[in-house]
Amino acid sequence: MDESAGDAATGESVADALVADGGADTLPTVSDTVSDPASESQGKSEDPSRGGAAVAAVVVVKKQRPFWKEIPLLVVAAIVMAVIIKTFFVQAFFIPSQSMQNTLQPGDRVLVDKLSPWFGATPQRGQVIVFKDPGGWLAGENIPAPSTNPVVRDFQSVLSTIGLMPSANDQDLIKRVIAVGGDTVVCKSGAPVSVNGVNLNEPYIYPGATPCNDYPVGTVTVPKGDLWVMGDHRNDSADSRYQRQQDNGGGFVPVKDVVGRAFVVAWPISHWSVLSVPSTFHQSGLSASALQAGPSAALDGTALVLPLTLWYRRRRRNRR
């Protein structure tokens, strides 16, 4: 009896010592504690009255990583996401000239949809598009030269890669699509532009500018796979009219050179606007090339929705 009482007293004194030395804060760590499988199966405790020692519970708290250690990971993830978005989805472009006034002002930044062309969408009449120089369109233009400072040049290269500034190597232009492959355009001095025999009402052109007086090219039929484009500031735009007069590829822009459709003015905030298709391009008589107009809905986002919907339905069917 004395021994069992002594054992119980000893167990109590050990527990009291643990509490007196700081409680749970001074409990041994997992690496310092050896557990008994038999005691674990019994709930990890013993009755002191039966001669067993009290077992203290050990709580393991996972130490959280300091925030400053996570910053590099967040930066890398953000850069990767920016490159993916710029390459496959949306890219910002800087407007350097007056050729699209008043729709776009110098210094504006527009967002361009690069996803829809992946699904076979082609530009449609009235849309504002960004396209690569078909060849010689930018000849004589004041294109900023890359910095001679290697540090600045590399920094600009990084920013252009993630889409935060235009690349010095990009040779892109922005114009409005007036006609698509198969259309017939009439551009004569003193008359409005007509497409497939339908006159266009163009309130978006720069105030005081004339539709075709500067570069009257007469009647032009656009080849399949090409586009006829014009700037909204007709008196200050070296567009398809000017290029045709210069005998530069007939003034046509190959569809394969199109980067994407500009759909919104994103900066500055005071210029924010959606670049929608003017109502004059919705006239029924313009649809001379009905087959060409088929994929136009894709540029409005259905090119992404339809494949995802079909994929989701197929996945559900396979699970059954």
- The catalytic residues are 99, 175
3: amino acid identity, one letter: E
Cβ-contact 195, 178 below 8 angstroms: yes
Question: What would the two tokens of residue 74 be?
Answer: 């967040």
Closest by Cα among 216, 212, 191, 192 to 202:
192
Write the secondary structure of the chain as one string of H (helix), E (strand) and C (coil): CHHHHHHHHHHHHHHHHHHHCCHHHHCCCHHHCCCCHHHHHCCCCCCHHHCCCCCCCCCCCCCCCCHHHHHHHHHHHHHHHHHHHHHHCEEEEECCCCCCCCCCCCCCEEEEECCHHHHCCCCCCCCEEEEECCCCCCCCCCCCCCCCCHHHHHHHHHHHHCCCCCCCCCCEEEEEEEEECCCEEEECCCCCCEECCEECCCCCCCCCCCCCCCCCCEEEECCCCEEEEECCCHHHCCCHHHHHHCCCHHHCEEHHHEEEEEEEEEECHHHCEECCCCHHHHCHHHCCCCCCCHHHHHHHCHHHHHHHHHHHHHHHHHHC
